[in-house]
């Protein structure tokens, strides 16, 4: 009998070739296969009459083929099969692309079920490329049909049949991870029923029961893992930091910390004096002053005889931190250094020797800080900037350079509290919810493409006054996504330079460039050697350019609100009024509602809450870079109540049974999930 770790190629009916295709999706084991959940569902249970089809809505229709299909060869690589189908209420013109075999399989006089999106007028309905099958078969219609994420060489049919074979192979080996008491108290179905109906729902109610059970299980295991991480941290003892006179540090600043900054500093210093390792997230909008909170912690650590390290995701950001902090810290007796990948081997060796000997108190750098040859004499504090850009493994590698050093994580991505419960259950959270006095809000407007001449005129005027501008596009080149009307960085920059601003200095930057190329472009922009920088979202976390006063975002509907807020934070850092212009020709109601949120508020947390409500949690993390196990079924935006139930159940279980001896299946699965995410409970 198979177990859940069985390689999929050994599952009956799959074999080597199909297993190879499934491997492209990351499906390697039987568990991977049955856990490849649909991303959405199509309700094909109801069959409508032709006259009742609503343009733009997908639906099933039963209709008879009125005449033999015809085939047209439009050009090389494009054949059209056309057929007219009728019922007692009207006619439906159906077109199939590159499916010439249908000419012989669709028989005149026979009735078929078509599922697709109806178009056309009341007098003449059309469907393009619908799903079609004989009326008596009803394999692809007559039920709720799952739609899975795919890759080249894997169709919905192949995946669906493979999952059917996987579920059949599971038999009775699926362990019910939830304790019976928890399942009964929260009215959750059994695991076998859940997996069967998440993939092959018997109906709408069965699907909802399955989804609720699997979402609860995810949130339950997640909570158990985070609570165990926190317990592990709380049992570790370290020498408490002694009190330090912070007066010299505060007097060295050219400004007074905001109340929110002061509160965050006090919370962090309290952690460091507690006798347990600090593990704190400091989050706040771009420009809210997180770096000064980190600087206070660095000063506190160094005055306690310990070294501190700050790790940034890019070389240019590391250099910016160093150039901002070293002039503040060195007059206070803190010996500073910068360590990045572009240092020569000789320079790296000298810096490593200085750190090992304790001759450097505070080092700022990139992931070069965690390379094998770098050792610290007494590392007491680790600060990571823009934490979602680092995997947990990278942060852990830096922390591993010392003996349980204090950890401060900084993030400019405002995260709703409901999401922070999940993402940072093992961290204490400090929030800087104030901007420094004197910061002018960025004036934000939302316009369509007809405004481009006015936008260009406005950019020219501001550049003439000595300012600089960003223009952000959703893709790198027009060939990237089929050459449609979405603005693309390379072509757009060339057009602007040649046709619109021939007398200005236009440059471009995108994520597919080599790191050194990107850094060179950003450094030139920071040095005012470029007037207009056309970019993808690679600048979302980037160098501080106080002289940049305009942010134009093309195809703004393509970005999440949190991402737009991050981009807007790139301007408004200097003494001049700054502007953000969101350009979109998609003026449907949802787009207008979303983008008007950006116009109405500059509060990152309100924007994040709205983004979570509208888009779900995916937008906050990109590709699971936060390093915690991914949620495949649960949606934090919709499942807040289920999250509270799962957390209460997990907490009650841990109180009764801290070692989880009564439910080994839950303990094993939790350990597997967190090990996959580079976290362990050892």
Q: Do the Cβ atoms of 118 and 55 come closer than 8 Å?
A: yes
Cβ neighbours of 1 (radius 10 Å): 8
Residues 97 and 205 in one domain: no
Does 612 map to a domain?
no
At residue 480, does pLDDT exceed 60?
no
At residue 178, does pLDDT exceed 60?
yes
Tell me the Ramachandran region of residue 473: left when phi exceeds 0, alpha when psi lies from -120 to 50, beta otherwise.
Answer: beta
CA distances from 363 to 344, 367, 414, 442 (A): 17, 12, 27, 34
Core vs surface per residue 84-106: b (16+ CB within 10 A) or e: bbebeebebebebeebeeebeeb
Residue scoring higher pLDDT (250 or 223): 250
pLDDT value, residue 423: 59
Q: Which of 116, 142, 168 corresponds to the end of one domain?
A: 142
Q: Could you tell me how far CA 252 lies from the centroid of its own chain?
A: 39
Residues 16 and 72 in one domain: no
| 308 backbone dihedrals φ, ψ, rounded to 5° | -135, 150
| pLDDT category of residue 381 using cuts at 50, 70 and 90 | very high
Q: Which of 191, 214, 237 corresponds to the end of one domain?
A: 214
Does 678 map to a domain?
no
At residue 540, does pLDDT exceed 80?
no
| pLDDT category of residue 605 using cuts at 50, 70 and 90 | confident
At residue 559, does pLDDT exceed 90?
no
**Nearest in space to 144 (alpha carbons), one of 195, 207, 187:** 207
Q: Do the Cβ atoms of 296 and 443 come closer than 8 Å?
A: no
**Separation between Cα atoms, residue 372 and residue 401, nearest integer Å:** 10
H runs (alpha helix) in 475-552: 489-495, 515-526
| Pairs from 339-345 (Cβ < 8 Å, separation ≥ 24) | 339/363, 339/364, 339/365, 339/366, 339/368, 339/369, 339/374, 340/315, 340/365, 340/366, 340/368, 341/315, 341/366, 341/367, 341/368, 342/315, 342/516, 343/368
CATH number of domain containing 516: 3.40.50.300
Which structural domain, as residue segments, surrounds residue 578?
Answer: 443-601
Does 226 map to a domain?
no
pLDDT value, residue 637: 59
**Nearest in space to 281 (alpha carbons), one of 169, 208, 388, 361:** 388
Helix, coil or strand: residue 568: helix
At residue 332, does pLDDT exceed 70?
yes
Residue scoring higher pLDDT (613 or 374): 374
Whole-number percent of the chain with pLDDT over 90: 28
Residue scoring higher pLDDT (482 or 475): 475
pLDDT value, residue 481: 44
Q: Which of 84, 108, 142 corresponds to the end of one domain?
A: 142
CA torsion 655→659→660→661, rounded to 10°?
-120
Cβ neighbours of 230 (radius 10 Å): 15
pLDDT value, residue 482: 40
Counting Cβ atoms within 10 Å, is residue 624 exposed (0-12), middle (13-18) or buried (19+)? Answer: middle
At residue 522, does pLDDT exceed 60?
yes
Residues 365 and 508 in one domain: no
**Separation between Cα atoms, residue 151 and residue 362, nearest integer Å:** 47
**Separation between Cα atoms, residue 199 and residue 210, nearest integer Å:** 9
Residue scoring higher pLDDT (328 or 484): 328
Residues 172 and 126 in one domain: no
**Separation between Cα atoms, residue 491 and residue 508, nearest integer Å:** 10
Residues 404 and 307 in one domain: yes
Tokens of 496: 């602007």
Residues 582 and 480 in one domain: yes
Residues 540 and 596 in one domain: yes
Does 222 map to a domain?
no
- pLDDT tens digits for 489-521? 888 999 999 999 999 999 998 878 887 888 889
| pLDDT category of residue 657 using cuts at 50, 70 and 90 | confident
**Separation between Cα atoms, residue 409 and residue 297, nearest integer Å:** 12
Q: Do the Cβ atoms of 574 and 549 come closer than 8 Å?
A: yes
Does 650 map to a domain?
no
| pLDDT category of residue 369 using cuts at 50, 70 and 90 | confident
Residues 472 and 544 in one domain: yes
Tokens of 46: 């109801």
Structural domain count of the chain: 4
At residue 588, does pLDDT exceed 80?
no
- State the average pLDDT for the chain: 83
**Separation between Cα atoms, residue 572 and residue 547, nearest integer Å:** 9
Residues 274 and 351 in one domain: yes
Residue 342 is classified by DSSP as: T
Does 682 map to a domain?
no
pLDDT value, residue 484: 41
CATH number of domain containing 78: 2.40.50.140
Core vs surface per residue 109-125: b (16+ CB within 10 A) or e: eeebbbbbbbeeeeeeb
- pLDDT tens digits for 298-316? 999 999 999 999 988 888 8
pLDDT value, residue 456: 95
| pLDDT category of residue 337 using cuts at 50, 70 and 90 | very high
DSSP string covering 348-408, please?
HHHHHHHHHTT--SEEEESGGGGSTT---SSEEEEEESSGGGS-HHHHHHHHTTSSS-EEE
Q: Which residue has the tokens 């495949």?
A: 632
Query: What's the number of CA atoms in the CB half-sphere (13 Å) around residue 373?
Result: 13
**Nearest in space to 132 (alpha carbons), one of 172, 83, 171:** 83
Residues 36 and 51 in one domain: no
pLDDT value, residue 174: 83
| pLDDT category of residue 46 using cuts at 50, 70 and 90 | confident
Does 583 map to a domain?
yes
**Separation between Cα atoms, residue 542 and residue 544, nearest integer Å:** 7
**Separation between Cα atoms, residue 514 and residue 468, nearest integer Å:** 24
Residues 317 and 357 in one domain: yes
At residue 529, does pLDDT exceed 70?
yes
| pLDDT category of residue 172 using cuts at 50, 70 and 90 | confident
Residue 488 is classified by DSSP as: B
Counting Cβ atoms within 10 Å, is residue 445 exposed (0-12), middle (13-18) or buried (19+)? Answer: middle
pLDDT value, residue 425: 60
Prediction pTM value: 0.66
Residues 200 and 323 in one domain: no
Per the document, the length of the chain is 682
Residue scoring higher pLDDT (198 or 136): 198
| 115 backbone dihedrals φ, ψ, rounded to 5° | -120, 120
Does 288 map to a domain?
yes
């Amino acid at each position: 009998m198979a177990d859940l770790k069985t390689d999929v190629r050994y599952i009956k009916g799959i074999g080597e070739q199909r297993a190879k295709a499934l491997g492209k999706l990351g499906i390697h084991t039987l568990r991977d296969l049955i856990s490849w959940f649909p991303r959405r569902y199509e309700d094909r249970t109801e069959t409508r009459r032709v006259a009742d089809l609503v343009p733009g809505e997908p639906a099933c229709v039963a209709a008879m083929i009125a005449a033999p299909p015809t085939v047209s060869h439009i050009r090389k690589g494009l054949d059209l099969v056309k057929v007219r189908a009728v019922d007692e209420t009207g006619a439906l013109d159906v077109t199939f692309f590159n499916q010439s075999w249908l000419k012989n399989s669709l028989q005149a006089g026979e009735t078929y079920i078509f599922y697709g999106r109806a178009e056309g007028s009341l007098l003449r309905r059309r469907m393009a490329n619908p799903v079609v099958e004989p009326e008596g078969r009803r394999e692809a219609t007559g039920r709720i049909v799952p739609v899975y994420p795919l890759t080249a060489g894997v169709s919905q049919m192949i995946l669906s049949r493979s999952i059917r074979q996987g579920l059949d192979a599971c038999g009775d080996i699926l362990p019910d991870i939830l304790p019976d008491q928890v399942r009964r108290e929260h009215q959750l179905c059994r695991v076998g029923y859940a997996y069967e109906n998440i993939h092959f729902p018997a109906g709408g109610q069965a699907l909802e029961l399955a989804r609720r059970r699997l979402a609860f299980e995810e949130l339950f295991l997640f909570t158990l893992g985070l609570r165990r991480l926190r317990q592990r941290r709380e049992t570790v003892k370290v020498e408490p930091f002694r009190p330090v006179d912070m007066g010299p540090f505060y007097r060295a600043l050219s400004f007074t910390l905001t109340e929110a900054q002061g509160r965050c500093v006090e919370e962090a210093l309290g952690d460091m004096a507690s006798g347990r390792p600090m593990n704190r997230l400091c989050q706040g909008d771009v420009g809210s002053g997180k770096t000064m909170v980190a600087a206070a912690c660095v000063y506190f650590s160094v005055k306690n005889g310990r070294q501190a390290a700050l790790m940034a995701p890019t070389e240019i950001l590391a250099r910016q931190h160093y150039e901002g902090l070293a002039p503040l810290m060195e007059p206070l007796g803190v010996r500073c250094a910068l360590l990045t990948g572009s240092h020569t081997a000789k320079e790296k060796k000298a810096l490593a020797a200085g750190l090992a000997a304790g001759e450097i108190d505070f080092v700022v750098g990139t992931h070069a800080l965690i390379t094998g040859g770098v050792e610290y004499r007494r590392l007491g504090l680790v600060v990571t900037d823009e934490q979602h850009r680092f995997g947990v493994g990278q942060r852990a590698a830096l922390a591993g350079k010392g003996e349980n050093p204090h950890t401060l994580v900084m993030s400019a991505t405002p995260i709703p509290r409901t999401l922070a419960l999940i993402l940072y259950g093992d961290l204490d959270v400090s929030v800087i919810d104030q901007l420094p006095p004197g910061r002018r809000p960025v004036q934000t407007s939302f316009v369509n493409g007809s405004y481009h001449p006015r936008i260009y005129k406005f950019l020219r005027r501001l550049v003439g006054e000595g300012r600089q501008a960003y223009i952000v596009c959703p893709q790198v080149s027009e060939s990237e996504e089929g050459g449609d009307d979405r603005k693309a960085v390379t072509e757009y920059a060339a057009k602007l330079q040649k046709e619109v601003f021939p007398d200005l200095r236009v440059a471009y930057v995108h994520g597919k460039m080599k790191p050194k190329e990107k850094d060179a472009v950003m450094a030139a922009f920071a040095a005012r050697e470029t007037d207009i920088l056309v970019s993808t979202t690679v600048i979302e976390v980037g160098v501080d350019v106080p002289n940049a006063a305009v942010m134009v975002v093309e195809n703004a509907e393509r970005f999440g609100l949190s991402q737009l807020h991050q981009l807007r934070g790139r301007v408004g850092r200097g003494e001049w009024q700054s502007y953000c212009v969101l350009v979109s020709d998609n003026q449907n109601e949802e787009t207008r509602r979303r983008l008007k949120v950006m116009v109405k508020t500059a509060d990152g947390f309100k924007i994040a809450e709205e983004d979570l409500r509208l888009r779900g949690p995916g937008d906050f993390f990109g590709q699971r870079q936060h390093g915690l196990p991914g949620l495949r079924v649960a949606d934090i935006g919709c499942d807040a109540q289920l999250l509270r139930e799962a957390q209460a159940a997990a907490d009650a279980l841990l109180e009764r049974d801290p070692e989880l001896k009564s439910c080994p299946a839950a303990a094993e699965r939790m350990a597997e999930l967190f090990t996959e995410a580079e976290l362990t409970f050892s």
